[in-house]
């Protein structure tokens, strides 16, 4: 396993390696994990999953950021968290997805805090965005806990999403 790009209190953020695809596929194969990513769409098939996975690897190679593989300090796979380019607004977007058994344990909040601190040190950005399905109260709470400010409700693929913005500290 490649060394982590970032380490927080409980989490390690690693670039994805080719052999990590089964971990990625298992995370996104859980219908509960996928529910708020897809909102009733059919499950992501292997072709789509593979393209998404390779896109994350390409983002890291090109930009130094991605939706990283997240493990605990012992190396156990927990989920993914990091950044992606949101083409609708041309902004960097913070996102996270963890195994269902880990929900409610503060991993998403810890990941979001660590990633926001890291990205402003790593890149000359003035802000990043985050969004969650409007009805997904838990994910919206994570964005609010890390200091993101609600900006609007916008449609993403036919689903209302709550958009947030986080500005670099001055």
Q: What's residue 45's pLDDT?
A: 84
Q: What pLDDT digit, counting tens, does each position of 129-150 carry?
A: 999 999 989 999 999 999 999 9
Distance of CA 126 to CAs 7, 75, 120, 170, Å? 23, 33, 8, 9
Cβ atoms within 10 Å of 23's Cβ, excluding its own: 19
Q: What's residue 42's pLDDT?
A: 63
Tell me the pTM.
0.93
Q: What's residue 99's pLDDT?
A: 94
Q: What's residue 2's pLDDT?
A: 76
**Residues 115 and 109: beta-carbon distance below 8 Å:** no
CATH topology of domain 6-125: Aminopeptidase (3.40.630)
Pairing mode of beta strands 127-133, 91-98:
parallel
Q: Where are the beta strands (DSSP E) in 67-157?
A: 67-72, 77-86, 91-98, 127-133, 149-156
Q: What's residue 32's pLDDT?
A: 79
Query: Which residues in the chain show pLDDT less than 70?
Result: 38-43
Cβ burial, residue 79 (10 Å; 0-12/13-18/19+): buried
């Amino acid at each position: 396993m490649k060394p982590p790009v970032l380490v927080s209190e409980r989490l390690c953020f690693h670039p994805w390696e080719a052999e990590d695809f089964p971990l990625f596929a298992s995370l996104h194969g859980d219908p509960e994990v996928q529910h708020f990513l897809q909102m009733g769409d059919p499950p992501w098939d292997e072709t789509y999953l593979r393209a998404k996975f390779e896109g994350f690897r390409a983002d890291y190679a090109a930009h130094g950021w991605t939706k990283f593989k997240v493990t605990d300090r012992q190396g156990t796979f927990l989920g993914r968290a990091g950044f992606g380019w949101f083409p609708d607004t041309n902004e960097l977007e913070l996102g996270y997805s963890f195994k269902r058994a880990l929900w409610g344990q503060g991993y998403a909040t810890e990941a979001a805090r660590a990633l926001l601190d890291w990205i402003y040190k790593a890149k000359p950005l003035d802000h990043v965005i985050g969004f969650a399905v409007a009805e997904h109260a838990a994910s919206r709470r994570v964005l609010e806990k890390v200091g993101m400010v609600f900006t609007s409700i916008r449609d993403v693929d036919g689903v209302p999403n709550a958009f947030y913005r986080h500005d670099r500290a001055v």
